[in-house]
Amino acid sequence: MGKFKVVITDWEYDDLCYEEQVFEGHSEIELVGAQCRTEEEVISACKDADGIINQYAPLSKRVIESLEKCQVITRYGVGVNTIDLKAVTKKGICVANVPDYCMDEVSDHALALILSWTRKIVLASNQVKNGNWDFKVTKPIQRFRGQTLGLVGFGKIPQALAEKVIPLGFNVIAADPYFPAEEAKKKGVTLVSLETLAEQSDVISVHAPLTPSTKGMIGKEHFARMKKAPLIVNTARGPVIDEQALIEALQNGKVSGAALDVLEEEPIIHNHPFLSMENVIVTPHVAWYSEEAEKEMRLKAAMGVVDVLIHGEYPKYLVNKEVKMHSRLEEGVSLERYGQLVK
């Protein structure tokens, strides 16, 4: 049997030591690193690849159709919006992500943004550094207890956030049409419609994945419903919020502030309106990051390739389950393999 070619389309790490660690015991795999930015570069690097690990490089329909023998694509992180899932599934290629590597990190970051903005930490610090020692510049500040936090989406990360804020006294509601209301109630959270969430929330934290149906989901209609001029927090994907509508809502007072780790376009442009707004906190898409989370994500992304190419199994974190209609792999990934990697 010849070697399997595995291409990493792009990465922003200092090296590929964790990926190499996974593959070092498998001489059948040849690892190729590329730093692709365009469709043409991905096609050139991946046309004859058996497996692909992807970060941000576009895996469009055109790219997918050029792949001659690819069996698996894994993605660093949770979202798979860089990949044309319809095209890849039709071609019988498994797609895997790493949905559980940064639940603490993202929920911690969302909490940090909520607390920092609500207590006006950044504003107060900047005022002191500019020579203004006066607590009145932070007015008004409201206590946490009794405020309502609305979660857009109620997957694992917002569930973790709910667990962290309820002891602080927040009332938590969530909008998620796919989550059972009784299960949410057991976690101390009330499920509501997205419209009700907009009307009742003092703080809104966005955790919805980016899909065609969620793009621009938080827009003018929902900002118009907001009665409490809430804080908007986004640690999910920038395009879930209509950014121009958010800017207008900040300017007209329908929204009191924003704390954003993700934007419609990244990195932020130098003259973006957010950069001149005192009621906006922006962080550079860092919510996912800790040393431990980065290591776990990279190890698991590489292991998804091993699941398919070496063991002939569906990857543990298979995203496009419909691919089973087009491919024939074994069920039942060995959890022991993952446990040995991530300790």
Q: Quick one: pLDDT at residue 145?
A: 97
Q: In this structure, what are the phi and psi dihedrals at residue 64, rounded to the nearest 5 degrees? A: -60, -40
Residue 1 has pLDDT above 60, yes or no: no
Number of domains composing the chain: 2
Domain hosting 37: range is 4-101+290-341
Residue 228 shares a structural domain with residue 304: no
Residue 71 shares a structural domain with residue 151: no
Spell 176-196 as b/e; 16+ CB within 10 A means b: beebeeeebeeeebebbebee
Percent of the chain with pLDDT over 70: 97
Residue 94 shares a structural domain with residue 111: no
Q: Quick one: pLDDT at residue 334?
A: 64
Final residue before a domain boundary, out of 282, 299, 325: 282
Residue 167 shares a structural domain with residue 263: yes
Kindly report the CATH number assigned to the domain that includes residue 171. 3.40.50.720
Residue 74 shares a structural domain with residue 174: no
Residue 114 shares a structural domain with residue 48: no
Catalytic machinery residues: 237, 266, 285
Q: Quick one: pLDDT at residue 58?
A: 97
Question: What is the pLDDT confidence band of residue 342, given thresholds at 50, 70 and 90?
Answer: low
Q: How far apart are CA 200 and CA 100, in angstroms?
A: 30
Report CA torsion sign: 33, 24, 81, 113: negative
**pLDDT, tens only, 263-309:** 999 999 999 999 999 999 999 999 999 999 999 999 999 999 999 99
Residue 172 shares a structural domain with residue 129: yes
